[in-house]
Structure 1
Amino acid sequence: MKKVAIELTNVSRKFISPEGKVTLALKDFSLTVNEGDFCAIVGPTGCGKSTTLGMITGLNPPSSGSVKVFGKPVVGIDPNIGFVFQADAVFPWKNVIDNVSIGPIFRGKDPKTAREMAGEWVRRVGLSGFEYHFPHQLSGGMRKRVALAQTFINEPKILLMDEPFSALDVQTRALMQDELLGLWSEKKASVVFVTHDIEEAIALGDRVVVLSKGPGMVKSSYEIPLTRPRDVSEARYSSEFIHLSKQIWSDLKDEVQI
């Protein structure tokens, strides 16, 4: 039986503006993610998807309820957690190999060892030959490969992803989704993947959680029966995929209609 990696129980989160206005982002929200599971979260803008990730990292403590990681309350930043953002979190003044090696260096590895590790990860994400290129010399998809290498090199036990591929074109997005699944299948980190894209959620996840409009609550949850290893492009044409997409959209459309 799998152990619980992430557990949010009856969580609510309030934000107060400088003018004193109170906004309730999440209300009585509960979520459990087991070790090695890939959980995708979809929902309308402003439903608290990114807030959920912030609470797991410890950056946004809940106003009420509890957040636990591996059975312990979240206090501060956990080094076992990796985060891939929508925007590229790369240093523009550093080349690829230096960007990838910076994480291990901050965690105490000597620079030579860190660069050797970075060289291996640069190869694994398909960027051999681009080690000494700078971010402005790379395409959007290549920068995302750098971001994946930056994250996976630290071998996180939990991987949080906030719409990491939303800015990419359709073809590049599909390639990066396959790349992500390939890397994840090797290490089996527990993943929480936030997206607006229903098809992306189904293609990647073991489970898709649908949130209501803000304040966000769990509206529904779907187990994804698609087999692994999974080819993202081919999976989209299966009858199971199409049926799930229709079901999830049925749940979601009432939340996004004005």
Structure 2
Amino acid sequence: MNHAAIELENVSRKFVSPQGKSILALRDFSLTVREGEFCAIVGPTGCGKSTTLGMITGLNPPSTGTVRVFGKPVEGIDPNIGFVFQADAVFPWRNVVDNVAAGPIFRGMDASAARDKATEWVRRVGLAGFERHYPHQLSGGMRKRVALAQTFINEPRILLMDEPFSALDVQTRALMQDELLGLWSERKASVVFVTHDIDEAIALADRVVVLSKGPGSVKSIYDIPLARPRDVSAARYSKDFIDLSRQIWSDLKSEVQI
């Protein structure tokens, strides 16, 4: 049985608004993510999905409760954690290979060795031939491939993803989902993937966690029985997939209705 990579135990998180009002984003929230598990979180806007990722990174410590990573309390930024954002986190003044090499160089790798490693990762994400292109010369899907290479080159043991594909068109999004699963299957980092898209969550994850409306707490958890390796496009037409999509939407419906 896999050990726990991430443990959030009875955590709550309060923010203070610009007007000085205390806002409770999460309440009595508990979740365990096992080593090598792909866990997706879905829920209505404002339920605390992104706040959960912030607590795991150490950027937003909980107001109450405990967050542990590999059994140790989170007390700062952990180099074992990689983060892929909704917005492109690329340096516009750097070309593709230099963007991908930035992380290893920052961590102390020799610049020449980092660029060699980055060139290999650029090839692995399907961007061979674009090494010297700049972000403004790339499509949205290509920039997202750069972001995946930037993250995976650092070999994270935990991968946090905050709606990384939401701005992409349907076809590119499906391609990027398959790309992500292919990269993840090689090293099996523990993934927490935040999305509003129920079908995306089912297509990618081992488990889907449904949060209630804010202040968020766990409403339900679904184990995903779809076999791996998983073809995202083909999986969407299976009976198990369709049944799960209906069940999860039924859970969410009452949370999103006004």
TM-score with structure 1 setting the length: 1.00
- The DSSP-based 3-state class of the residue aligned with 1:147 is helix
Q: Return structure 1 stretches of 4+ with deviation > 4 angstroms.
A: none
Q: Does 1:14 align with 2:2?
A: no
CA distance in 2, matches of 1:18, 1:235: 45
CA distance in 2, matches of 1:167, 1:112: 34
> Which one-letter code corresponds to 2:53 in the other structure?
L
CA distance in 1, matches of 2:40, 2:18: 32
Alignment of 1:121-132 (within 5 A): 121-132=121-132
Could you give the per-residue CA deviations for residues 56-102 of structure 1, whole angstroms, max 9, x where no partner exists?
00000000000000000000100000000000000000000000000
Q: Does 1:228 align with 2:219?
A: no
Alignment of 1:84-233 (within 5 A): 84-233=84-233
Q: Does 1:68 align with 2:68?
A: yes
> Which one-letter code corresponds to 1:143 in the other structure?
R
**Shift of the alpha carbon at 1:127?**
0.1
- The DSSP-based 3-state class of the residue aligned with 2:9 is strand
**Shift of the alpha carbon at 1:23?**
0.5
5+ residue gaps, structure 1? none
Q: Does 1:54 align with 2:50?
A: no
CA distance in 2, matches of 1:233, 1:128: 25
**Shift of the alpha carbon at 1:19?**
2.0
- The DSSP-based 3-state class of the residue aligned with 1:151 is helix
- The DSSP-based 3-state class of the residue aligned with 1:240 is helix
What is the number of residues matched between the two proteins?
Answer: 258
TM-score with structure 2 setting the length: 1.00
- The DSSP-based 3-state class of the residue aligned with 2:242 is helix
CA distance in 2, matches of 1:42, 1:222: 11
Could you give the per-residue CA deviations for residues 198-227 of structure 1, whole angstroms, max 9, x where no partner exists?
000000000000000000000000000000
CA distance in 2, matches of 1:35, 1:232: 22
**Shift of the alpha carbon at 1:17?**
1.6
> Which one-letter code corresponds to 2:48 in the other structure?
G
Identity of aligned residues (%): 83
Could you give the per-residue CA deviations for residues 125-175 of structure 1, whole angstroms, max 9, x where no partner exists?
000000000000000000000000000000000000000000000000000
**Shift of the alpha carbon at 1:18?**
2.8
CA distance in 2, matches of 1:50, 1:108: 30
CA distance in 2, matches of 1:166, 1:251: 22
Alignment of 1:18-33 (within 5 A): 18-33=18-33
CA distance in 1, matches of 2:18, 2:215: 20
**Shift of the alpha carbon at 1:196?**
0.0
CA distance in 2, matches of 1:112, 1:72: 35
Aligned-pair Cα RMSD in Å: 0.3
Q: Specify the alignment match of 1:253 in structure 2.
A: 253
CA distance in 1, matches of 2:32, 2:150: 26
- The DSSP-based 3-state class of the residue aligned with 1:116 is helix
- The DSSP-based 3-state class of the residue aligned with 1:186 is helix
CA distance in 2, matches of 1:10, 1:187: 30
